[in-house]
Structure 1
Amino acid sequence: MEQRQLGRTGLRVSHLGLGTLTWSRDTDEHDAAEQLRDFAEAGGTLVDTSASYADGGAEELLGGLIGRVVDREDVVICTKAGARHGTVDASRGSLLDTLDASLRRLGTDHVDLWLVQTPDPRTPLVETVSALRRAVDSGRARYVGLSNHAGWQVARAATLLGEDPGLAAVEAEYSLLQRGIEREVLPAAADLGVGLLAWSPLGRGVLTGKYRRTVPADSRAASPHLSGFVEPYLGSASTAVVEAVITAARGLDRAPLEVALAWLRVRAQVASSIVGARTPAQLRDSLNAEDLDLPPEIVLALDEVSAPALGYPERR
């Protein structure tokens, strides 16, 4: 699997990342171990988790597998802080306490990449950034970044951090069904040399085409705790994009999800696309996209059908 440089840092990550949103809740230890083993054998290195996933359960499960399924030095661990129990708190004390708890659950003395999961309107960004700096200075995190933040916040944080330690990454939702970051986040990241990690590259599962006719009983959209996560993309606004992906897949004799991942892989700024598979079989489906290179005319057609609406001041 291709290893890509994360922004202007020296950190390299696999262009597919393994997400752990469902671990210890919908994905048990056996399936998680199989996922991690298959991912590592395919050359994957980046494993993305968070203190908020299953209230820390995902981190604990991952920590139990490191050393047993993969060696610590063979994985790039990215975890997040700032959102737990349905509340947002990116204050310095809360972030650093959460990081310490994450390290205990993961069974390591440092994470490779530590992100603030979501903006906190009650905490000044300068305070949040001070926690990122402290994490690096103390050796608890090698690199730091933001997740789900606006373009101006990315720019401000990068300015506050300066070149040392620097803002390494921004993690944001990015897919053929969600291209909003192209308005401001991507331009800011490109100008500042900040790497992009794309979460939900399959449009929360909708780009697989499995929701075209109905909601499968074993899908996220049928799950009591994830149905609200999928629902925004089940409406008519997504139909044209999903149908275009399916048409391209049929013409190439490939699966729709492979087309969706291949489209994202050619976006120059994307260091890694994080796939959150519930089962080992779903992960293997994503790994199968490795050898698919989309013809330029298909890339252009998908670009056009999924283009985000732009207005003032992005376009005038």
Structure 2
Amino acid sequence: MQQRSLGSTGLQVSRVGLGTMTWGRDTDEHEARDQLIAFAEAGGTLVDTAAGYTDGDSERLIGTLIGDVVSRDEIVLATKAGVSRRSGERVADTSRGSLLPTLDASLRRLGVDHVDLWQVHVWSDRTPLEETLTALDIAVSSGRASYVGISNYNGWQTAQAATWQRAVPGRATLASTQVEYSLLNRAVEREVLPASAALGLGVLPWSPLGRGVLTGKYRSGTPSDSRGASQVFAGFVGAYLDDASARVVEAVVRAADGLGWTPLEVALVWVRDRPGVTAPIVGARTTQQLRGSLDLDDKVLPAELVAALDDVSATARGGA
């Protein structure tokens, strides 16, 4: 698998990242092991998790696999802080007093002395931005993180954060932003992608397969073994099971039929090769599904199909 520079930094990451949001809950230790083996064997390096994923169990599970399945220096380890669940409710806290202890807890669960990329998981109006960003400076200066980034920031938030970090020498410049981006959600093209390009941030799309809908698996209903049928993800997936999304899915299926590809390959290659994108983050339910996302280096969508997909998805949830 090819490697790419993360934004304007020297950090090299694989062209596709491995997402672990369900590890420790829907994805057990045996499946996680198989996925990480398949990912590493394909040349994948970027492994993305978060303190808030499965209440820290995703990080714990990854920690058990480092040194067993892969060595520490074989992967680019990325995690996030700023989201937790208290009393079962999702809470965003990006204060310095919360972020730094969360990072320390992540390092303990992962069993490492530093992460390669530490990201603020969400924007919060409750904390001054400069306080949040100070936590990133401390993380880098203390050696707990090699690079830092943001996640789920809109355009002006991205520009403000990146500009603040560049304003004074010695601050930890932002390496990346992680945002939802797919043929079913192109909202980031309006402001986030231009801001990221102007300020040197690599873009890491999450849900590049439109929450699984772009694989075509939901065309005739919701499979009983799919995430769309689970209590946890039914609403998350269901948001894209509308008529507008269905038209995009049918266009992807037709393109796949014409190329002899799978719909997954068409959707993933489309977002992988968008301007500014460094590496889409793919989370799979099974190792077999994951393998379908890993051997794509030699695949390039013909220009006429890119244009057709751009056209049919142009207004997809805020697209340009």
TM-score, length-scaled by structure 2:
0.95
Structure 1 segments (4+ residues) deviating >4 Å: none
Distance 1:263 1:225 in 2: 28
Is 1:101 the counterpart of 2:108? The answer is no
Q: 1:288: Cα distance to partner?
A: 3.6
Instruction: Say how many residue pairs are matched.
Output: 313
Distance 1:232 1:118 in 2: 20
Q: 1:309: Cα distance to partner?
A: 6.9
Distance 1:285 1:277 in 2: 10
Q: 1:291: Cα distance to partner?
A: 2.8
Listed one character per residue, the Cα deviations across residues 106-135 of structure 1 (whole Å, up to 9, x for unaligned) are 000000000011111111111111111111
Gaps of 5+ in 1: none
Range with bigger deviation, 272-281 or 300-309: 300-309
Q: 2:142 aligns with which of 114, 138, 142?
A: 138
Counterparts of 1:64-143 in structure 2, within 5 Å, are 64-85=64-85, 86-143=90-147
Distance 1:95 1:223 in 2: 31
2:315 is paired with a residue whose SS is coil
Q: Which residue does the alignment assign to 1:153?
A: 157
1:272 is paired with a residue whose SS is coil
Gaps of 5+ in 2: none
Distance 1:75 1:221 in 2: 30
Listed one character per residue, the Cα deviations across residues 229-265 of structure 1 (whole Å, up to 9, x for unaligned) are 1111011120111000000000111110000011112
Q: 1:308: Cα distance to partner?
A: 3.2
User: How many percent identity over aligned positions?
Assistant: 62
Is 1:261 the counterpart of 2:265? The answer is no
Q: Which residue does the alignment assign to 1:308?
A: 315
Q: Which residue does the alignment assign to 1:234?
A: 241
Q: 1:290: Cα distance to partner?
A: 3.4
Distance 1:310 1:18 in 2: 25
Listed one character per residue, the Cα deviations across residues 44-64 of structure 1 (whole Å, up to 9, x for unaligned) are 000000011110000000010
Q: Which residue does the alignment assign to 1:294?
A: 301
Kindly indicate whether the alpha-carbon contact (under 8 Å) linking 2:187 and 2:317 is maintained by their aligned counterparts in 1: no
TM-score, length-scaled by structure 1:
0.96
2:296 is paired with a residue whose SS is helix
Q: Which residue does the alignment assign to 1:63?
A: 63
Distance 1:143 1:277 in 2: 26
Kindly indicate whether the alpha-carbon contact (under 8 Å) linking 1:258 and 1:288 is maintained by their aligned counterparts in 2: no
Q: Which residue does the alignment assign to 1:167?
A: 174
CA RMSD of the aligned region, Å?
1.5
